[in-house]
Amino acid sequence: MNSVVVDGVRLAYEISGTGEPAIFIHGALIADSFRPLMSEPVLTPHYSLVLYHRRGYAGSSRPGGPTSIAQQAADCRALLHHLGVERAHIVGHSSGACIAIQLALDAPDIIQSLALLEPALIVGSTGPAYREALLRGRQRFGKEPPEQLVDEFLQARFGEGYRAPLDRMVPGAFEQAVADAATSFDREVPALLEWHFGEVEAKCITQPVLAVVGSESKALWERFDETYRFLLEWVPDARGFVLPDAAHGMQMQNPRGMAGALADFWARHPIRPGA
């Protein structure tokens, strides 16, 4: 992978395909969660796909302490600047979708479209329970084996039997998640708990938004469906998509379906020369 130093932190990145730029912002634990999309034939002939490891993950360097959602958004913006990208499609998954939202609010002129894959929003009736679950995970980290915490975290979101398909689609992902557990549980949870997003902020998003939920996600956790419905209700220009045969690990569980949905969405909102 290539790398660039941003605010004293090295970010590892790679690019696949040619065409309109699109950048993937991964969520907690699995830094290469978007890797299955990097070779999808419906995308690579038309889009320049950028995968990067956020600070604290895999090939990127470790920060000294907690990093805010706003700083993470600034990292992504700096990477785009380094690449000479003036305008791009942004795709965020889980906590990465929260970073994508913040980027849209802070720098709307550089974003052509926004795809939000089950963002980690603390909203609605499920918000208090989700907040408590995040706090419990942080409190348990350092007291229990990280392998156990990572397994529980992923099983709750990806479903039972997730491990074999994950190992097949993203080899080494579980082991890397364990290695990066401190970043997820100890540094990112506080940032997510401090971040605020609600209807007022949602109505400030001017870009077209694709809100994605997995067909199997609601059965695992009601909050996935609730946040999906809030996005469709709050964001002025939002359309929804239910990805078949997938839960929260959607781009790994059904990469072909996810790639097709993104290709269709981006084709509807192309980057015009000089825009």
pLDDT for residue 269: 97
Proportion of the chain in helix, strand, coil states, percent, rounded to 5: 45, 20, 35
d(CA 121, CA 205): 15
| CA distances (Å), origin 124, targets 20, 121, 225, 227, 229 | 36, 9, 11, 8, 10
Q: Mean pLDDT over residues 131-137, rounded? A: 94
pLDDT for residue 215: 97
pTM of this structure: 0.96
Strand (E) or helix (H) holding 253: helix 250-253
pLDDT for residue 273: 76
pLDDT for residue 171: 96
Q: What share of the chain in percent tops pLDDT 70?
A: 99
Phi then psi for 16, rounded to 5 degrees? Answer: -135, 140
pLDDT for residue 275: 57
Q: In terms of pLDDT, which residue wins out, 111 or 64?
A: 111
Q: Mean pLDDT over residues 142-160, rounded? A: 93
Confidence of residue 18 (pLDDT cuts 50, 70, 90): very high
pLDDT averaged over every residue in the chain: 95
Confidence of residue 197 (pLDDT cuts 50, 70, 90): very high
Q: Mean pLDDT over residues 258-272, rounded? A: 96
Could you give all domains of the chain from N- to C-terminal order, each with its CATH number? 2-268 (3.40.50.1820)
The answer to whether 212 and 115 have CB atoms below 8 angstroms apart is yes
Please count the other Cβ atoms lying within 10 Å of the Cβ belonging to residue 175. 12
